[in-house]
Amino acid sequence: MPLLDVKELSVNFSTKEGVHHVLKNVDLNINKGEIVGLIGESGSGKSTLAMTVLDINSRNREMSGNISFMEERIDNLKKERMRNIRGKHIGSVPQSSMNALDPLVKIRSQFFETIKAHTDMSRQEMLSLTARSLEMVGIDPLRMNSCPYEFSGGQRQRIMIALSMLLSPELIIADEPTTALDATVQLKITTLLKDVVQQKNTSMLVISHDLHTISRICDRIYIMYAGRIVETGTRDEILNDPVHPYTQKLLASRLPLMCEPVRVKGISGTPPSTLKKYEVCEFMERCDKVSDICRTVRPPECTGNVKVACHMECHLE
Amino acid sequence: MDNSCLIKIDNVSKVFKRKGMFRNEPEVKALDNVSLTVKKGEVLGIIGESGSGKTTLGKLILGLLKPGSGNISFADIDNSSSQNGKPIVQVIFQDPYDSLSHMMTVEQLVAEPCIIQNRKNFDRNRIVLALESVGLTPVESFLHKYPHTLSGGQRQRVAIARAMITEPDMIIADEPISMLDASIGVDILNLMLDMKERTGITFMFITHDIAAAAYISDNIAVMKEGKIVEYGSREQIISDCCHEYTKSLLLSASTGTFNNTSFDDK
């Protein structure tokens, strides 16, 4: 039984402009001790998936499907119970987490706030727990009395990771943990995430648009496009043998580090609108390998044993 | 100054004095005796980590900041007789979500530099051509859109059209792709390369991503702590760099390649 099991999850948001279909029939599972990557471009719904699991986007939301966590349905839990799970059992490193810390509140107080919300520790215990978790991410525990604005972006990111790990949750959801950081700092943060997961024996869902940066720490990868999982597999399968045209294009848009001038092609066209309901493959408008069947029949859903949501895959077999 | 050179930066230093409310805080030396020449028609990449002074250098060239000491001179241009106000330098900012006014349509945004330059007269065709050249087609459907309805890549294209429309000699692009998805960033870089080939414009490309700099630049300058620690052609920097910092940048870029699986074992 996987730790987190998302089944047939569909999420719509009703707004003034109409109904946004953000997630469509998403199947995703995370086993214990695993690092799973969720990759997709802006607007593909990856953050919505994370927020739906944490239940922090319930406004105007309609959802269907199952989310189970530690063999418990969590998709329609009461607010109070969900609040217990968040922070204690599911830690979250939010997007642009550099700005997620209150800049004028001491690091120590922000850590204590989380501890107090979930446990009854004595002050001494809280201090030692805070010191230990800061040490783990390579921040001098003596600096716990500083305010976030005194730290650099990379340091704040590490503090945020320490904060999400504080109560040793079973699952950590890290939303774009390396975006907007320098290349050298990115390397440090990804290595840190991997170390932390190994030390604490937790699982992690890493969300990113940058397949290359994140893939080096993932065990398995899900590729998301327009609210659907289009391909899934182990890291080696995705990186060495991608099947879906979107995954292939993502991999090809990597900038090579070479002396000779070469041209790399990006993915042309624009991402599909979430307002429209597609009867056929969402990627068709930007795909070079469109065949007749693509125009008429929906490709298979990426659920169960199906690993690629593309007709191409069926033809190969 | 010889003809091939567009901008000459000579021993420029810039110190920011921070005035605390109660105490004097230490000075920050953003640039420390930097000398650099920008040649006509090249793409010059400036790489460095946050706080290395690369954006300060861009702002000094744009005239948004004044150098503390040293000189920045432009080739064969005396400011007094500059013909019809043609600008020398334009800029593309990092964050396309903040650099375009939310209250203006794409047409107004692109027309704004023309209006400033020509005192209210502008040619509508030029706007259409500029938008076409950055790949925002069909132009008619974009003219009356507001920036919030565009994607990040499209917004950055509008920002490029704004910079290009007054036909500057040089464009300073300050981290133009760091806010964009990887696949869209490549498109923006290709657009810049196309523009350089078509119009011979000079680019100064400021970035922290050595792979992006290597992709687009002819020459690369590596900055660290306000100094230029290494300068050379792309080939020199990538295959034959000397400075430790450049090596560490290259290493962190190349361990990202997926062929290298040894990373796990470390």
* Residue predicted with more confidence, B10 or B23: B10
Under 8 Å CB pairs connecting chains A and B tally to 102
Q: What is the pLDDT of residue B3?
A: 64
Is the pLDDT score of A300 beyond 50? yes
Q: Does B241 touch chain A (CB under 8 A)?
A: no
How many Cβ atoms sit within 10 Å of the Cβ of residue B61?
Answer: 23
- How many domains are contained in chain B? 1
Q: What is the pLDDT of residue A266?
A: 76
| pLDDT class of B259 with cuts at 50, 70, 90 | very low
Q: What is the pLDDT of residue A75?
A: 85
Instruction: Tell which of A209, A257, A262 to mutate to test the B interface (max B CBs under 10 Å).
Output: A257
% pLDDT > 70, chain B? 86
Tell whether omega for the bond before A256 is within 30 degrees of 0, i.e. cis: no
* Residue B156, domain extent: 5-73+86-246
Give domain status of residue B263, yes or no.
no
Residue A51 amino acid letter: M
Residue with tokens 């033809």: A315
B78 CA: distance to closest CA in chain A (Å): 36
For B197-212, write each residue's pLDDT tens digit: 888 899 999 988 888 8
d(CA A221, CA A35): 9
Q: What is the pLDDT of residue B255?
A: 60
CATH code of residue A106: 1.20.1580.10
Is the pLDDT score of A149 beyond 80? yes
129-168 of B, contacting A, C-beta below 8 A: 151-154
Q: What is the pLDDT of residue B106?
A: 92
Structure tokens given for A144 = 């716990």
Q: What is the pLDDT of residue B24?
A: 66
208-227 of A, contacting B, C-beta below 8 A: 209-213, 215-216
* Cβ-based contacts of A211 with chain B (< 8 Å): 182
Q: What is the pLDDT of residue B266?
A: 32
Instruction: Tell which of A15, A244, A259, A267 to mutate to test the B interface (max B CBs under 10 Å).
Output: A259
CATH code of residue B154: 3.40.50.300
Q: Does A152 touch chain B (CB under 8 A)?
A: yes
* Residue A133, domain extent: 100-168
Whole-number average pLDDT of chain A: 87
Give domain status of residue A59, yes or no.
yes
| pLDDT class of A317 with cuts at 50, 70, 90 | very low
My answer on whether A64 and A121 are in the same domain is no
Q: What is the pLDDT of residue B257?
A: 45
Average pLDDT score over residue span A143-150: 88
My answer on whether A162 and A309 are in the same domain is no
B93 CA: distance to closest CA in chain A (Å): 15
Give domain status of residue B81, yes or no.
no
Is the pLDDT score of B8 beyond 60? yes
| pLDDT class of B265 with cuts at 50, 70, 90 | very low
For B118-153, write each residue's pLDDT tens digit: 776 777 888 898 898 888 878 888 888 898 888 888
For B36, residues 6+ apart whose C-beta sits below 8 A from its C-beta are B9, B57, B221, B228, B231
Average pLDDT score over residue span A211-222: 87
Structure tokens given for B17 = 């004095």
Is the pLDDT score of B263 beyond 60? no
d(CA A141, CA A128): 9
Cβ pair A209:B255 closer than 8 A = no
Residue B165 amino acid letter: I
Cβ pair A254:B182 closer than 8 A = yes
Range name among A7-11, A48-52, A62-66, B184-188 with the lowest pLDDT average = B184-188
Which of A210, A236, A239 faces B182 most closely, judged by CB atoms? A210
| pLDDT class of B158 with cuts at 50, 70, 90 | very high
CATH code of residue A72: 3.40.50.300
Cβ pair A266:B184 closer than 8 A = yes
Average pLDDT score over residue span A160-164: 91
| Inter-residue contact B15 to B226 (CB < 8 Å) | no
Cα A217 to Cα A8, A187, A238, B80, B168: the distances in Å are 27, 10, 13, 58, 44
My answer on whether A198 and A282 are in the same domain is yes
My answer on whether A258 and A195 are in the same domain is yes
* Residue predicted with more confidence, A221 or A76: A221
Q: Which of B121, B82, B105, B83 is nearest to B162 (CA)?
A: B105
Q: Does B183 touch chain A (CB under 8 A)?
A: yes
* Cβ-based contacts of A253 with chain B (< 8 Å): 182-183, 186
Give domain status of residue B252, yes or no.
no
Is the pLDDT score of A98 beyond 50? yes
Cβ pair A42:B152 closer than 8 A = yes
My answer on whether A239 and A214 are in the same domain is yes
Residue with tokens 């349509």: B105
Cβ pair A184:B185 closer than 8 A = no
Is the pLDDT score of A309 beyond 90? no
My answer on whether A289 and A161 are in the same domain is no
Give domain status of residue B69, yes or no.
yes
Structure tokens given for B96 = 């396309």
Is the pLDDT score of B167 beyond 50? yes
Q: What is the pLDDT of residue B222?
A: 92
A101 CA: distance to closest CA in chain B (Å): 20
* Cβ-based contacts of B220 with chain A (< 8 Å): none
| Inter-residue contact A144 to A111 (CB < 8 Å) | yes
Q: Which residues pair with B219 in a beta bridge?
A: B44, B233
Which of A41, A184, A264 faces B252 most closely, judged by CB atoms? A184
d(CA A229, CA A45): 10
Is the pLDDT score of A165 beyond 80? yes
- How many domains are contained in chain A? 2
